[in-house]
A and B are shown apart, each in its own frame.
Chain A
């Protein structure tokens, strides 16, 4: 059960857009749309920000958007703000199990 592949870190200046990739295989990300993204601040529980590839839970800013192409899903944060500095994780269902990406640390310069 190897993890999904995410870049270890991504950075951007306030107001810019950044994109975090999440690469899997044809048996997980490529097969299912059960793809979610989470934001986690240090010392806090994760928070769901995207599910079903593109859907935002109630209360999540529309600056967060998701997409998928083939075996790679992406999370885009538009209009980057200081409060977006956090760790971000993707997750995917895969045949009676689930897997996470290794996590991406977003730094706002």
Chain B
């Protein structure tokens, strides 16, 4: 079954940096686009970033563009999110997500979710 295991959250000072990881298993990782989604405490879901299956295209929400970088290592079935220039508004639970099995392009966003990691700025 699909598993997404996240690591890397923590407490960081304003202006600081952090790298989140998401180890994937149970599906052909290198064939699927992947997303990051965040949720501020007590708030709704916010899409953050997407990366194509081969890493050739990446897209970001306006709120993080220029500060966050999404990347992947298909040899290690791992997705990353590098966070920099962090501010209090970035405090949130960050989820990695893979699309439904029939949607390698990632258009339906999230069929499977990681457990989430908390980033506190």
Contact = CB atoms under 8 A, between A and B. Distances in A.
Interface of A: 1, 3, 32, 34, 36, 38, 40, 45-48, 51-52, 57, 87, 89, 91, 93, 96-103
Interface in B34-65: 35, 37, 44-47, 50, 59-63
B46 to A, nearest CB: 7
B31 to A, nearest CB: 18
A22 to B, nearest CB: 12
A100 B75 CA distance: 31
A45 B109 contact: no
Given A97-B59, A98-B50, A48 B44 contact: no
Contact of A48 (B63, B100, B114): B100
Contacts, number: 66
Contacts of A87: 44
A45 B82 CA distance: 21
Interface in B92-121: 95, 100, 103, 107-116
B113 A96 contact: no
Interface of B: 35, 37, 44-47, 50, 59-63, 95, 100, 103, 107-116
B45 A36 contact: no
Nearest to A58: B101
Contact of A101 (B44, B108, B116): B44
Contacts of A91: 45, 47, 109-110
20 contacts: A32-B107, A34-B107, A38-B45, A40-B45, A45-B95, A45-B113, A45-B115, A45-B116, A46-B113, A51-B100, A51-B103, A51-B111, A52-B108, A89-B44, A91-B109, A93-B109, A97-B47, A98-B47, A100-B44, A101-B44
A40, A45, A93 pick with most chain B CB within 10 angstroms: A45
